[in-house]
């Protein structure tokens, strides 16, 4: 190949060199070990020290786990079995307490004949969440719904669910699986109805209450349409006013009358009976779903141009964050009743949920505010320049990006809040970690058992929190890929 | 940077009407106590192409951002398409949907595809049915010559492509006036040409354009008026030929010698 621009002795590579394999030190196991564990004397020393610590822990705890007993009816019996098998003085775990009392850890003092109700509610949670959490991938949605359906139906059969309800459960799951294939957005209708259904199934009572609550919203919607004809500003407020009026003045009596005419009631269960993970998950799920929207509103309010709005948001957030959650829970337990009209009794679990929600929402607001601040000003300007109004710009441009940035913080807040549900122990509710364990130990058979319940409860908390963390990583990766 | 080659311009199509598109009367603006815009008087006819030049910090961006109220002016009047800009939100939204803006840093929405970027405002502001909005969007994406990128995200495009998407996004609202704030300043030289060509095409279609730019080649070829700003004031305005060949003020001469490099 001759090159007119260069003289005869100019250098020109005529052939490309082939690729060569890297030296052995630079690949595989050897490279990894060298780089990560033994790259220098300090590093090598730390590696050895780490291994020693791991060995020490393993050596200490392994026998305890290895000697564990799952079949016994009391702690003394456990000890006897361990002594007989492993010799006098050998230590061992007595997980038999979990086998015997798992139901209290899961359901608290819920009537055993009705265990199927919260179980069904938990199973349906996945149907309600599917179109929200797993909207991106049909495959994952299918897997989640399938697993939830099979696990729930098997549990329902094992828990002697009445056949009508078994039928209902089968029907809901079947429809959900079908709908999720093509029209997953329709499932959002179920998600909206789910909280009412869940509350009714867990606490029981008359279904007419649910119908009347829905009727109130229906009237509110009517008011929205009618008032909207007159002025769009009036529409929202009149919808809220009408809904509240119907709830306060009509729903109660109407539900009672309807119940007398035709009963749609299932057995009522008191809040005191609700405990264990049923309680923790109820508070957690309710708090999570309500604190996110509230946190968004607070974050937007705090950044608002309107002085009154932003100062109210700042006061609320700083006050709630400045006070320990326990204080708020005590307020929920003792003080809230003073502010309510005499004669109204306000369910303790509901009060606790409200406080936990407010607490989490304050943290959520700050996390989301961080996301909002991270958004370049150009995004706001472009939205403005296109003529989008404030709410549309927030909803379509700002929040999708700000929330995506905030995912790790949001999920951390969720996880922290879910673990904080154990603090309701201080207002006498039977959360799994302390009060249920105390209740179990109060029996003569299990007096003195200590570590095993903690390990069991801790493991379940870990599984739930770890799943949330994995989900957030999945979501981040997913959104990342879309925007590359 | 002023010598980017561009395609030839067909001046016959670029007609200017007598109708006034933008009228700015004795407008003043302060940032805190800093007086950025001083007694600006400017009338823009429909179909006019105006290039605004001036040293950094002279208030060029601020001036065109006042026209769609990204910045608020404190006194004087700004009338766009017969609508006066006041604090009335309704008027502001109306003006903004009639006036398109292209930014130096594109400001595309990174979480939406190119097509979604283009259909967002028509769907949510103009309430155009999605199908129709997508047809319009594809039409303008073809006009800026990147219809094949419609399904991609902005992050996957080159700077020049992103700026052309940004132009298409503005055009989808079918604005009567387009504002450009240094649309090519963030681009590599070889991408500047594709964006300038797109802008020339727009000019040939009779769009009213206000363009802050340092591309003097573009000004010479397309503009029918060049405005020179310094320290928040309009120092000089003239047709491009006279503006470049015999500038009247000393400051303009200095600026031109710096920017044209002689
Ligand atoms: N939001 C703001 N707050 C305070 N001062 C500002 C603000 N925006 C701009 N300024 C100041 O106003 C003056 C004019 O700014 P402007 O951005 O309009 O200049 P410009 O002519 O566009 O300059 P450039 O060529 O660098 O873009 C500058 O001195 C700038 O520092
Ligand atoms: Mg500028």
pLDDT at A332: 84
| Residues A254, A213: Cα–Cα separation, whole Å | 10
Count Cβ atoms below 10 Å from residue A99 Cβ, excluding itself.
13
Query: What angle is formed at CA A356 by the lines to CA A364 and CA A291, rounded to 5 degrees?
Result: 35
Query: What angle is formed at CA B215 by the lines to CA B210 and CA B221, rounded to 5 degrees?
Result: 75
**Closest residue to atom 13 of ligand 1, CA basis:** B57
User: A401 alpha carbon to ligand 1 midpoint, in Å?
Assistant: 27
Confidence of residue A53 (pLDDT cuts 50, 70, 90): very high
Nearby residues of A33 by Cβ (< 8 Å), 6 or more positions away = none
Rounded to a whole number of angstroms, the distance from the CA of B102 to the nearest CA of chain A is 8
Give which of B107, B155, B163, B175 to mutate to test A binding, by max A Cβ within 10 Å: B107
Whether the Cβ atoms of residue A202 and residue A107 lie closer than 8 Å to each other? no
User: B31 alpha carbon to ligand 1 midpoint, in Å?
Assistant: 9
Rounded to a whole number of angstroms, the distance from the CA of B105 to the nearest CA of chain A is 8
Is the pLDDT confidence value at A5 over 60?
Answer: no
Q: Minimum mean pLDDT among A4-13, A439-448, A467-476: which range?
A: A4-13
Q: Which helix (H) or strand (E) holds B30?
A: strand B20-31
Strands B75-80 and B20-31: antiparallel
Mean pLDDT: which of A39-48, A67-76, A115-124, A420-429 is highest?
A: A115-124
Is the pLDDT confidence value at A13 over 90?
Answer: no
To the nearest 10°, the Cα dihedral for A204, A209, A215, A217?
-70
Query: Which comes out higher in pLDDT, residue A457 or A338?
Result: A457
Nearest residue of A to residue B119, measured between CA atoms:
A386
Nearby residues of B163 by Cβ (< 8 Å), 6 or more positions away = B102, B106, B183, B184, B187, B191, B195
Confidence of residue A1 (pLDDT cuts 50, 70, 90): very low
Rounded to a whole number of angstroms, the distance from the CA of B103 to the nearest CA of chain A is 8
The pLDDT tens digits for A107-116 are: 999 999 999 9
Could you tell me the sign of the dihedral formed by the alpha carbons of A352, A358, A362, A365, in that order?
Answer: positive
> For a pocket test of ligand 1, which of B61, B65, B211 has the largest count of ligand atoms closer than 8 A to its C-beta?
B61
User: B56 alpha carbon to ligand 2 midpoint, in Å?
Assistant: 7
Q: Minimum mean pLDDT among A212-226, A246-260, B132-146: which range?
A: A246-260
Q: Does domain B17-106+176-260 have CATH number 3.40.50.300?
A: yes
> Does B32 touch chain A if contact means CB atoms closer than 8 Å?
no
* Residues of A whose CB is below 8 A from B109: 379, 382, 397, 401
Lining residues, ligand 1, CB within 6 Å: B 31, 34, 36, 54, 56-62
Is the pLDDT confidence value at B132 over 70?
Answer: yes
The pLDDT tens digits for A293-311 are: 999 999 999 999 899 999 9
The reply to whether residue A386 touches residue B170, judged by beta carbons under 8 angstroms, is yes
Q: Which of residues 205-244 of B touch A (CB under 8 A)?
A: none
> For a pocket test of ligand 1, which of B27, B28, B36 has the largest count of ligand atoms closer than 8 A to its C-beta?
B36
- What mean pLDDT value characterizes chain B? 90
User: B18 alpha carbon to ligand 2 midpoint, in Å?
Assistant: 29
Is the pLDDT confidence value at A484 over 60?
Answer: no
The reply to whether residue B70 touches residue A389, judged by beta carbons under 8 angstroms, is no
Mean pLDDT: which of A208-212, A332-336, B53-57 is highest?
A: B53-57
User: A258 alpha carbon to ligand 1 midpoint, in Å?
Assistant: 69
pLDDT at A318: 95
Query: Which comes out higher in pLDDT, residue A31 or B68?
Result: B68
The reply to whether residue B121 touches residue A483, judged by beta carbons under 8 angstroms, is no
Is the pLDDT confidence value at B1 over 50?
Answer: no
Rounded to a whole number of angstroms, the distance from the CA of A375 to the nearest CA of chain B is 11
Burial of A230 (0-12, 13-18, 19+ CB in 10 A): exposed
pLDDT at B262: 55
pLDDT at A120: 94
ipTM of the complex: 0.91
pLDDT at A2: 47
Is the pLDDT confidence value at B141 over 60?
Answer: yes
Give which of A385, A407, A476 to mutate to test B binding, by max B Cβ within 10 Å: A385
Give the pair of three-digit tokens for residue B230. Answer: 């310094």
What structural domains does chain A harbor? 1-66 (no CATH), 271-484 (1.10.3720.10)
Is the pLDDT confidence value at B12 over 90?
Answer: no
| Number of separate helices (H) and strands (E) present in chain A | 21, 2
| Atom number, ligand 1, closest to the C-alpha of residue B229 | 21
Whether the Cβ atoms of residue B202 and residue B174 lie closer than 8 Å to each other? no
The reply to whether residue A385 touches residue B68, judged by beta carbons under 8 angstroms, is yes
* Rounded mean pLDDT, A462-466: 95
User: B62 alpha carbon to ligand 1 midpoint, in Å?
Assistant: 6
Rounded to a whole number of angstroms, the distance from the CA of A405 to the nearest CA of chain B is 11
* Rounded mean pLDDT, B192-196: 91
Mean pLDDT: which of A8-12, A245-249, A372-376 is highest?
A: A372-376
**Segments making up each domain of chain B, as ranges:** 17-106+176-260
Is the pLDDT confidence value at B49 over 60?
Answer: yes
- What mean pLDDT value characterizes chain A? 87
Q: Minimum mean pLDDT among A156-165, B60-69, B95-104, B253-262: which range?
A: B253-262
pLDDT at A93: 86
pLDDT at A12: 76
Q: Tell which residue, A266, A279, A255, A262, has the closest CA to residue A109.
A: A279
* Rounded mean pLDDT, B192-220: 91
pLDDT at A210: 87
Confidence of residue B2 (pLDDT cuts 50, 70, 90): very low
């Amino acid at each position: 190949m001759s090159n007119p621009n260069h003289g005869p002795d100019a250098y020109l590579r005529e052939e490309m060199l082939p690729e060569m394999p890297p030296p052995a030190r630079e690949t595989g196991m050897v490279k990894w070990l060298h780089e990560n564990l033994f790259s220098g004397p300090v590093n090598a020393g730390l590696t050895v020290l780490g291994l020693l610590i791991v060995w020490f822990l393993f050596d200490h705890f392994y026998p305890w786990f290895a000697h564990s007993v799952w079949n016994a009816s009391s702690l003394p019996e456990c000890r006897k079995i361990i002594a007989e098998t492993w010799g006098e003085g050998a230590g061992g775990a007595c997980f038999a307490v979990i086998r015997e009392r798992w139901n209290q850890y899961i359901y608290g003092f819920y009537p055993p004949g009705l265990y199927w109700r919260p179980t069904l509610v938990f199973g349906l949670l996945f149907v309600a969440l599917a179109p929200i959490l797993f909207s991106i991938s049909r495959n994952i949605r299918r897997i989640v719904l399938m697993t939830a359906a099979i696990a729930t139906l098997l549990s329902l059969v094992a828990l002697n669910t009445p056949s009508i309800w078994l039928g209902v459960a089968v029907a809901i799951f079947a429809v959900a699986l079908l709908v999720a294939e093509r029209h997953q957005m329709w499932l959002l209708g179920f998600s909206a109805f789910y909280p009412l259904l869940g509350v009714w199934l867990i606490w029981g009572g008359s279904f007419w209450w649910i119908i009347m609550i829905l009727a109130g919203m229906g009237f509110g919607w009517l008011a929205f349409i009618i008032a909207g004809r007159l002025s769009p500003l009036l529409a929202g407020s009149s919808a809220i006013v009408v809904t509240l009026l119907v709830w306060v003045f009509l729903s109660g009596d109407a539900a009672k009358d309807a119940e007398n005419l035709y009963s749609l009631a299932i057995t009522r269960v008191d809040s005191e009976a609700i405990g264990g993970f049923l309680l923790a998950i109820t508070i957690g799920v309710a708090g999570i779903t309500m604190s996110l929207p509230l946190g968004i509103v607070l974050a937007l309010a705090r950044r608002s141009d309107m002085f009154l709005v932003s100062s109210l948001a700042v006061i609320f957030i700083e006050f709630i964050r400045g006070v320990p959650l326990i204080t708020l829970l005590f307020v929920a337990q003792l003080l809230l009743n003073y502010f309510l009209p005499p004669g109204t009794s306000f369910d303790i679990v509901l009060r606790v949920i409200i406080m936990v929600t407010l607490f989490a929402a304050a943290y959520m607001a700050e996390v989301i505010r961080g996301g909002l601040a991270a958004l370049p000003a150009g995004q706001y300007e472009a939205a403005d320049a296109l003529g989008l109004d404030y709410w549309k710009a927030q909803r379509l441009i700002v929040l999708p990006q700000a929330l995506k940035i905030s995912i790790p913080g949001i999920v951390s807040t969720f996880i922290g809040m879910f673990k904080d549900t154990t603090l309701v122990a201080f207002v006498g509710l039977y959360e799994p970690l302390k009060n249920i364990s105390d209740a179990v130990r109060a029996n003569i058979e299990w007096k003195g058992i200590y570590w095993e319940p903690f390990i069991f409860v801790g493991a379940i908390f870990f599984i739930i929190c770890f799943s949330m963390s994995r989900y957030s990583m999945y979501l981040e990766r997913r959104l990342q890929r879309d925007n590359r | 940077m002023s010598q980017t080659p561009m395609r030839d311009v067909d001046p016959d199509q670029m007609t200017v009407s007598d109708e006034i598109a933008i009228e700015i009367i004795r407008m003043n603006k302060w940032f805190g106590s800093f007086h950025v815009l001083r007694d600006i008087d400017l009338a823009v006819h429909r179909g006019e192409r105006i290039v605004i030049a001036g040293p950094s910090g002279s208030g060029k961006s601020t001036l065109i951002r006042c026209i769609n109220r990204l910045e608020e002016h404190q006194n004087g009047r700004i009338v766009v398409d017969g609508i006066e800009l006041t604090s009335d939100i309704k008027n502001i939204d109306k003006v903004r949907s009639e006036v398109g803006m292209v930014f130096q840093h594109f400001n595309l929405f990174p979480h939406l595809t190119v097509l979604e970027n283009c259909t967002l405002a028509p769907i949510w502001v103009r309430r155009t049915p999605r199908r129709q909005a997508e047809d319009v969007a594809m039409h303008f994406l073809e006009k800026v010559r990147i219809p094949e990128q419609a399904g991609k995200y902005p992050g996957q495009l080159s700077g020049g492509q992103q700026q052309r998407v940004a132009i298409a996004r503005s055009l989808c609202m079918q604005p009567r006036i387009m504002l450009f704030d240094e649309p090519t300043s963030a681009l590599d030289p070889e991408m500047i040409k594709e964006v300038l060509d797109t802008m020339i095409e727009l000019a040939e279609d009779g769009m009213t354009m206000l363009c802050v730019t340092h591309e003097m080649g573009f000004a010479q070829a397309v503009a029918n008026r060049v405005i020179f700003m310094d320290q928040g004031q309009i120092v000089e305005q003239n047709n491009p030929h006279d503006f470049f060949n015999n500038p009247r003020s000393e400051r303009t001469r200095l600026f031109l010698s710096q920017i044209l490099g002689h």
